[in-house]
Amino acid sequence: MIKNSLDIRNDFPILRQKVHGKPLVYLDNAASSQKPAVVIEAVKNYYETINANVHRGNHLLSQLATEATENARDAVKSFINAAEREEVIFTKGTTDSINLVAASITKFVSEKDNIVISHTEHHANIVPWQMLCERTGAKLRVIPLNEMGEWDVEKGLALIDEHTAVLALGHVSNALGTINPIEQFIKKARAHEAAVLLDGAQSAAHMKVDVQNLDCDFFCFSGHKLCAPTGIGILYGKRTWLEKLPPYQGGGEMIHTVTFEKTTYADIPFKFEAGTPNMAGMIGMGAAIEYLQNIGMNKVAQLEDALLQEATSRLLQIDGLKIYGNAKEKAAVISFLVEGVHPYDLGTLLDKFGVAVRTGHHCTQPIMDFFNIPGTVRASFAFYNSSDDIEAFITALNKSLNMLR
């Protein structure tokens, strides 16, 4: 039985409530994680005691806001082991971060180039690169997928050549849970001097990430998936790239001087942070990172892997149930279908039992097309889940199936 030895569950106020008269069992963590009380309190404290714009005032509240948000930047630097704090850019989320890079890197891509992504990407790591190809004439290449939900490594590596401008890969699949073999692909990209971007939306919250060890040029993730508020995200970029990329947006904060004849831009990171930032989100991000580091990301990964193994074992005992995504290296995500049952119907009934799961294509339509299915039911676990949640989930699932079959 996987119990919460650290009594983590009690740190999350929302998990104490009931849904349709049943205790909430929250298994939609790949979509968005819940927030511990310390994060909620940090955001509340900002609005109650500081609530001032940053970098733009010499009054005390502005100074306090600036200090708190820049402390959050330092926390992110430590969390992902960036070489410098200036390499940490605050954005709205992973999607915003990827779009920033895809837009800004346009001048470095031509029609003779190619962009390499994979078949398992979230739409947010497909569409911006398609748009870049439309602007530049570059070709999009896709690493193929196999029935296990893993990349075909040999065929994938062959796609990277001297004309590869960007390698943009998801670290972990949000739909299948596959932990992708990114190291091999980064090494090949390095040999051809391609820029490397990693979509870390599903990895930063669930395992220890070291961007220097990964040797990626860009790494993106969202706060709302790692216990931080919504509307805040991170783009890590190596200084060499951030300094030569043009700004994504123009406005206040990202300038050095402005005249009607010419504008000069601020140094990084502010060159990419136009406008009033999400101060409350930044402060909440800092609080969430401190909370996670106090637990330890290795401990988080250990707890979640145990949940994955237990839930997988229990699900495979159900007649007619098929799991999609059976990679050897896998995060705590289980996508499945039950023969003769539509995933939407199953998800709706599970909700009546207080169990929150996700149904649909999970913003990965190419994966669903590969398996020739309309979508799946996805149960995704976090470190604050336990064996009790799995038991409630399996009980609710069996009751639901008895009604549907």
Task: Characterise 128 by phi-psi region: left (phi > 0), alpha (psi -120 to 50), beta (else).
Answer: alpha
DSSP 8-state secondary structure symbol assigned to residue 374: S
Please tell me the distance from the alpha carbon of residue 27 to that of residue 297, in angstroms, as a whole number: 19
Please tell me the distance from the alpha carbon of residue 193 to that of residue 96, in angstroms, as a whole number: 25
What angle is formed at CA 271 by the lines to CA 270 and CA 274, rounded to 5 degrees? 75
Helices 297-315 and 387-404 meet at what angle, rounded to 10?
30
Backbone dihedral angles phi then psi of residue 110, each to the nearest 5 degrees = -130, 175
pLDDT value at residue 1: 42
**Cβ atoms of residues 172 and 331 within 8 Å:** yes
From 133, 220, 227, 363, the catalytic residue: 363
| 369 token code pair | 């097309």
Give residues with Cβ within 8 angstroms of 176, minimum separation 6: 120, 149, 324, 325, 327, 330, 333, 335, 367
Among residues 25, 385, 81, which one has the least CA distance to residue 204?
A: 81
Q: Is the dihedral of CA 100, 102, 106, 109 positive or negative?
A: positive
pLDDT value at residue 6: 53
Looking up tokens 């509307």 gives: 231
User: Considering the entire predicted model, what is its pTM?
Assistant: 0.96
Among residues 381, 318, 374, which one has the least CA distance to residue 345?
A: 374
- 183-201 pLDDT, tens digit per residue, is 999 999 999 999 999 999 9
363 is catalytic: yes
Please tell me the distance from the alpha carbon of residue 326 to that of residue 317, in angstroms, as a whole number: 16
Q: How far is CA 27 from the centre of its chain?
A: 16
Q: Distance of CA 337 to CAs 19, 232, 353, Å? A: 24, 33, 19
**Cβ atoms of residues 264 and 257 within 8 Å:** yes
pLDDT value at residue 57: 74
CATH number of 8-27+296-404: 3.90.1150.10
pLDDT value at residue 99: 98
CATH of 40-294, picked from 3.40.640.10, 3.60.20.10, 3.40.390.10, 3.40.50.300, is 3.40.640.10
Q: For the chain, give every residue range classified as CATH 3.90.1150.10.
A: 8-27+296-404
Please tell me the distance from the alpha carbon of residue 205 to that of residue 309, in angstroms, as a whole number: 19
pLDDT value at residue 265: 92
Please tell me the distance from the alpha carbon of residue 353 to that of residue 26, in angstroms, as a whole number: 11
Q: How many CA atoms lie within 13 A of 200 on its CB side?
A: 29
**Cβ atoms of residues 133 and 117 within 8 Å:** no
pLDDT value at residue 3: 43
Q: pLDDT tens, position by position, for the chain (405 residues)?
A: 444 545 899 999 999 999 999 999 999 999 999 999 999 999 999 999 999 999 877 899 999 999 999 999 999 999 999 999 999 999 999 999 999 999 999 999 999 999 999 999 999 999 999 999 999 999 999 999 999 999 999 999 999 999 999 999 999 999 999 999 999 999 999 999 999 999 999 999 999 999 999 999 999 999 999 999 999 999 999 999 999 999 999 998 888 999 999 999 999 999 999 999 999 999 999 999 999 999 999 999 999 999 999 999 999 999 999 999 999 999 999 999 999 999 999 999 999 999 999 999 999 999 999 999 999 999 999 999 999 999 999 999 999 999 998
Q: For the chain, give every residue range classified as CATH 3.40.640.10.
A: 40-294
Helix (H) or strand (E) run with residue 361 in it: none
